[in-house]
Amino acid sequence: MIRIFDTTLRDGEQSPGASLNMSQKEEIARQLERLNVDVIEAGFPISSPDDFEAVRSIAGIIKNCTVAGLARCTEKDIVRAAEAVKDAVKPRIHVFCATSAIHRQYKLKRAEEEILKLSVEGVKLAKSFCDDVEFSPEDASRTELPFLTEVVQAAIEAGATTVNIPDTVGYSTPVHFTNIIRHLREHVKNIDRAVISVHCHNDLGLAVANSLAAVEAGARQIECTINGLGERAGNASLEEVVMAIKTRVDVYRCRTRINTKRIYPTSRLVAALTGIFVQRNKAIVGDNAFAHEAGIHQHGVLAHRATYEIMDPVDVGIPASKLVLGKHSGRHALRDRLQQLGHDLDDPRLDRVFEQFKVLGDRKKEIFDEDLEAMVSQVFEEAQTARAWELASLQTTAGTGVVPTATVRLRNVQSGDVVTDAATGDGPIDAAFTCMMRIAGVEATLREYDLRAVTGGRDAQGEVHLELVANGHLYRGRGRSTDIIEASALAFLNALNRAIAAADKPPRISPLNGASCGISSPSPAPDAAECAQAGLRVPTCD
């Protein structure tokens, strides 16, 4: 049996642009439980009070999966992680310490013996709180094999029940990774006392291939994320590793406990809540994954599905038909469709989506899955973003030879006061942004602006994702409407409200800052010259 350790809520949430609020994280955790993953890594509790709360809350909600919290090998990290997972039915503390020469020398500035000591002490401390302890030698794939062997053995001796071998910078290849796992199995004397896990990043597009190679070499846990989210190019994608193991059982000769029919709904849920969309041609869950364009292929599939399809779309939970709802559809039909899309909403949230559904039904004849997903993500946003201001009305003028103007009225949510401002700009959106900044009293610079049609058709809703910088911090906003100027204004206001709310909160510790024993910033693979200059050995798998 291969254990599936899902790190969407930790490494996945480190994807640029993927930050999730508390209720979004809880919803994803519930869905991961329905998917039947073995372990949910719920976050990095020391990184911020919000992260801590999210891990603690998920630990209280989830009953059937192990809930893990990440910690560096420092006392404060481990104590915080232990506190966050302590109410879980099955808690796990995951401690990590970088071991490669390049991390030792440049990030941690510590010698091998010190790294060994930190790792052992970290595991022992974690063990004093929790029986289930996972240890990761960060950047393992670039660590000298004799040192890696020594650290892994010492970590098991200290009490680690899972040893996770990360390819932190996505540098490995399948043969290289196979050799590392084989080497550890042959040389770590107590290796049978722990489960070997792997955690692969996708910088070279090899994360899934490396994870599967490790399974062939004897690894029994794969760390992965929904839709392959994660630092930089992401982690191994859960849907790909799971379906590879299932489809090629003849090769891997093992199975996972995943309820594969939940894969597609989970992918859609994560895409909707993170706002990171899945590319059309993504394996397993992309829109084109089961689409056949060529006439020959269509003919073949009609004659016998297996001529061109190695998996049945039903097995990954792709709905048999694209159901279209309209304004006359009832609450029941809405709930049914949302469930098929992976959203098991509680009554208050369903009511809120239903309200929005009726409003949209008046503007638009047909309501598609993508519209529903956009509504659900908005409902989760609304629940958490403390809103200082809301849009009362917006009027713009634009056209050839006309100075673009906007008049914006914002309502102060606390006092109920409505404030009006008017401005000109490069275009009507720019003018509306100026009005909102002046009313809210926040100086912000727009960094990214992205507009996409949620569905096809001329009455499609536009969804705007944008990033602005205010008070030296980055804030993201999302808005949608059949009117793209309104969608832009809503997205900008969403980001401004986040900036206002964040002004009262302590900053989040970035797990990317290599403090005493932190997760590395993306660092390139060392080349021979760089290593020679630093007096290091080029990593090999000899």
* Residues in the chain, total: 542
72's contact among Zn ion, ligand KIV, none, with CB below 5 to 8 A by partner kind, is none
Percent helix, strand and coil across the chain, each to the nearest 5: 45, 20, 35
Q: Minimum distance from CB of 134 to Zn ion (Å)?
A: 13
Q: Minimum distance from CB of 166 to ligand KIV (Å)?
A: 3
Q: Minimum distance from CB of 136 to ligand KIV (Å)?
A: 4
The reply to whether 223 sits near Zn ion by the rule CB under 5 A is no
Q: Minimum distance from CB of 239 to ligand KIV (Å)?
A: 19
CB closer to ligand KIV out of 199 and 352: 199
Q: What beta strand segments (E) does 201-349 contain?
A: 221-224
Element (H, E) at 392: strand 389-397
Q: Minimum distance from CB of 298 to Zn ion (Å)?
A: 40
Residue 231 has a CB neighbour count (10 Å cut-off) of 24
CB closer to ligand KIV out of 166 and 404: 166
486's contact among Zn ion, ligand KIV, none, with CB below 5 to 8 A by partner kind, is none
CA atoms of 135 and 163, how far apart (whole Å)? 5
The span of 4-12, 188-196, 209-217, 415-423 binding Zn ion (CB under 5 A) equals: 4-12
225 residue type, one letter:
T
Note whether 393 and 409 are within 8 A (CB).
Answer: yes
Element (H, E) at 485: helix 484-502
CB closer to ligand KIV out of 168 and 377: 168
6's contact among Zn ion, ligand KIV, none, with CB below 5 to 8 A by partner kind, is none
CA atoms of 346 and 325, how far apart (whole Å)? 20
Q: Minimum distance from CB of 147 to Zn ion (Å)?
A: 20
Q: Minimum distance from CB of 133 to Zn ion (Å)?
A: 18
CB closer to Zn ion out of 223 and 467: 223
Distances (CA, A) of 214 to 77, 367, 443, 504: 29, 44, 50, 46
Helix (H, G, I), strand (E, B) or coil at 11: coil
The reply to whether 11 sits near Zn ion by the rule CB under 5 A is yes
519's contact among ligand KIV, Zn ion, none, with CB below 5 to 8 A by partner kind, is ligand KIV
Q: Minimum distance from CB of 408 to ligand KIV (Å)?
A: 43
Judged by CB under 5 A, the number of residues near Zn ion is 1
CA atoms of 506 and 502, how far apart (whole Å)? 8
110 residue type, one letter:
R
CB closer to ligand KIV out of 72 and 478: 72
Q: Minimum distance from CB of 7 to Zn ion (Å)?
A: 7
Residues interacting with ligand KIV, by CB under 6 A? Answer: 11, 96, 136, 138, 164, 166, 168, 199, 201, 519
Q: Minimum distance from CB of 45 to ligand KIV (Å)?
A: 13
For the chain, the C-alpha Rg in angstroms (whole number) is: 25
The span of 11-19, 210-218, 357-365, 388-396 binding Zn ion (CB under 5 A) equals: 11-19
Residue nearest to Zn ion (CB): 11
CB closer to Zn ion out of 94 and 110: 94
CB closer to Zn ion out of 11 and 486: 11
Dihedral angle sign, alpha carbons of residues 498, 499, 503, 506: positive
Given the structure tokens 């050995």, which residue do they identify?
537
CB closer to ligand KIV out of 168 and 274: 168
Note whether 459 and 515 are within 8 A (CB).
Answer: no
The reply to whether 167 sits near Zn ion by the rule CB under 5 A is no
Element (H, E) at 247: helix 238-247
138's contact among Zn ion, ligand KIV, none, with CB below 5 to 8 A by partner kind, is ligand KIV
CB closer to ligand KIV out of 92 and 199: 199
Q: Both tokens of residue 144?
A: 């000298």
In the region spanning residues 17 to 46, those forming contacts with Zn ion, defined by CB under 5 A, are: none
CA atoms of 56 and 492, how far apart (whole Å)? 31
C-alpha closest to that of 2 among 230, 264, 156, 223: 223
CA atoms of 261 and 395, how far apart (whole Å)? 46
- Residues in touch with Zn ion (CB under 5 A): 11
